[in-house]
Amino acid sequence: MALMTGEQYVESIRKMNMQIYMFGEKIENPVDHPILRPSLNSVKMTYDLASMPEYEDLMTAKSHITGEKINRFTHIHQNTEDLRKKVKMQRLCGQKTAACFQRCVGMDAFNAVYSTSYECDEKHGTHYHDNFLKFLEYTQRNDLTVDGAMTDPKGDRSKAPHAQADPDLYLRVVETRADGIVVRGAKAHQTGIINSHEVIVMPTIAMGEDDKDYAVSFSVPVDTEGIYMIIGRQSCDTRKMEGGSIDVGNSEFGGVEALVVFDDVFVPNDRIFLNGEYEFAGILVERFAGYHRQSYGGCKVGVGDVLIGAAAVAAEYNGAQRASHVKDKLIEMTHLNETLYCCGIACSAEGTKTASGNYIIDLLLANVCKQNITRFPYEIARLAEDIAGGLMVTAPSEKDLSDPKLGPVIDKYFKGVAEVSTENRMRILRLIENLTLGTAAVGYRTESMHGAGSPQAQRIMISRQGNLAMKKKLAKAIAKIEE
């Protein structure tokens, strides 16, 4: 089986025995929990779209291992066209869910580990690349969702992993056995982990020899003994427990994050992709970060499309769509959104072949893409809030709207243009609230700042890759300076 349907995916997650905690309780049925189910629906969409003929070219690819048709989220990029299609696919998924659809991080981990494990084998004579190829083929054949786990809690940022007061603040190897290793630690902010079959763990920073126990990469099923997850809070998350569909804003789709604890987890030898070769930790981090920063030029743009559309609808429902300043704000939102898309496409088109044979994006342009992502969605959200008006955050609840006494009053006084129902006006305003302030803002607004590294991380990479020395030579040549 190379492709699962959306329903088959849901049932495959239902069969897993994940240890998930939320609000101080163990969640026995996460698949059907009202707070968690929308995030599962977002991943399900990546399976549903892959089964639709009109999206086959974007959503599927040909495996370079088996030759079979696979979901593109499990693909190893074979050329720059694959890199561009990745971005276009992510925009499509963002448009269809208006939320984080969670499979990007695994796809980016695949491609980063693919080339890094190959180069580590070349230098050290290890067998990590063979291990990874077997895991990849297994993932492709079964159309699995894989989470990529990079972010450690980090503790004191001024100290290296080995120098922390608590050595578990970076995930590390605590025991080496003949048949594998035992790891301990945690990975934070893990989007999509509760909706994944497997997780690829990677180091989070470049490391020195003293940190070699922390220079580890591997994969295990997410219901492996010793792994448990604590769900993070989101603004307005308990609205999903209230029933109804208006106040949530986006009632069908969403995303959740979790702290993932590895409490002495055993990893068999054939699932290890890096173990102590500390000089490759930074390489793996840089490549994964580059791929993931490219991803934001697709996924955030797709969600941006929905937000721009919602703002335009709100303007119509308010009767303000003809105002010149409203038109100009919509133009500015579109300009910013398409600029983000341009960066995602540009770093893809300028991609190059690695020694392992897969393609990597232009790292400088990928970092420029993500640097823009840390800014433009905030302005797009601000303009959407401006157009929507204050009712976006002061509207009564859905229960008030349906109340026999209060409903007619709300309907009377919160009517916009006469042709549009008050309910529909409230629905579009709640969607904007969800995208800019509510649960979806975690995956659009705040994640735009911190996902795939903080703004300063991108600026460091831009400084390294900007080739300032070459540009100085260009200026001196034009100025006819001889030194």
Binned at pLDDT 50, 70 and 90, residue 223 comes out as very high
Res. 147: pLDDT tops 70:
yes
Encoded tokens for 316: 């119509």
Give the mean pLDDT of 246-252.
96
Q: How many CA atoms lie within 13 A of 480 on its CB side?
A: 0
Weakest-pLDDT range from 58-67, 225-234, 346-355, 432-441 = 432-441
Encoded tokens for 93: 């998924």
CA dist 97 and 296 (Å) reads 15
Res. 2: pLDDT tops 80:
no
Give the mean pLDDT of 328-354.
98
Q: Decide if 350 contacts 334 (C-beta within 8 A).
A: no
Res. 404: pLDDT tops 90:
yes
Q: pLDDT of 16-56, one tens digit each?
A: 999 999 999 999 999 999 999 999 999 999 999 999 999 99
Phi then psi dihedrals of residue 359, to 5 deg: -105, 140
E-state strands within 255-393: 258-268, 272-275, 352-353, 359-360
Estimate to the nearest angstrom the gap between the alpha carbon of 262 and the chain centroid: 21
Closest CA to 379 of 475, 427, 476, 448: 448
Res. 15: pLDDT tops 70:
yes
- Other Cβ atoms closer than 10 A to 419: 8
CA dist 460 and 462 (Å) reads 5
Quote the mean pLDDT of the chain.
97
Res. 442: pLDDT tops 90:
no
- Beta bridge partners, 70, equal 61
Q: Decide if 113 contacts 200 (C-beta within 8 A).
A: yes
Q: Decide if 255 contacts 46 (C-beta within 8 A).
A: no
Res. 255: pLDDT tops 80:
yes
Give the mean pLDDT of 81-95.
98
**Cα dihedral 381, 384, 390, 395 in deg (nearest 10):** -90
Q: Decide if 256 contacts 231 (C-beta within 8 A).
A: yes
CA dist 90 and 468 (Å) reads 33
Encoded tokens for 129: 């690349």
Q: Decide if 113 contacts 358 (C-beta within 8 A).
A: no
**DSSP per residue, 195-212:** G-SEEEE--SS---GGGG
Q: Decide if 278 contacts 322 (C-beta within 8 A).
A: no
Weakest-pLDDT range from 108-117, 139-148, 158-167, 433-442 = 433-442
CA dist 201 and 222 (Å) reads 11
Closest CA to 111 of 142, 145, 83: 83
* Catalytic sites, residue numbers: 100, 104, 191, 257, 292, 296, 299, 447
Binned at pLDDT 50, 70 and 90, residue 254 comes out as very high
Q: pLDDT of 152-188, one tens digit each?
A: 999 999 999 999 999 999 999 999 999 999 999 999 9
Q: How many CA atoms lie within 13 A of 40 on its CB side?
A: 21
Going 127 to 215 to 103 to 31, the CA torsion angle's sign is positive
Binned at pLDDT 50, 70 and 90, residue 1 comes out as low
Res. 311: pLDDT tops 70:
yes
Binned at pLDDT 50, 70 and 90, residue 438 comes out as confident
* Owner of token pair 């939102």: 333
Contacts 24+ apart (CB under 8 A), 47-54: 47/3, 47/4, 47/5, 47/6, 47/8, 47/9, 47/71, 47/143, 48/5, 48/6, 49/92, 49/93, 49/96, 50/3, 51/3, 51/5, 51/6
| Residue percentage of the chain with pLDDT more than 90 | 95
Q: pLDDT of 388-403, one tens digit each?
A: 999 999 999 999 999 9
Estimate to the nearest angstrom the gap between the alpha carbon of 242 and the chain centroid: 27
Encoded tokens for 464: 């390294």
Q: How many CA atoms lie within 13 A of 234 on its CB side?
A: 32
Encoded tokens for 476: 């001196």
Can you list the alpha helix ranges (DSSP code H) found in 98-152? Answer: 104-124, 128-142
Give the mean pLDDT of 90-106.
97
Encoded tokens for 260: 């993932």
CA dist 442 and 439 (Å) reads 6
Q: pLDDT of 190-212, one tens digit each?
A: 999 999 999 999 999 999 999 99
Binned at pLDDT 50, 70 and 90, residue 446 comes out as confident
- Other Cβ atoms closer than 10 A to 363: 23
User: In Å, how far are 61, 110, 112, 114, 349 from 359, measured between CA atoms?
Assistant: 15, 12, 10, 10, 11
CA dist 371 and 362 (Å) reads 14
Q: pLDDT of 269-291, one tens digit each?
A: 999 999 999 999 999 999 999 99
| Count of all residues that appear for the chain in the document | 483
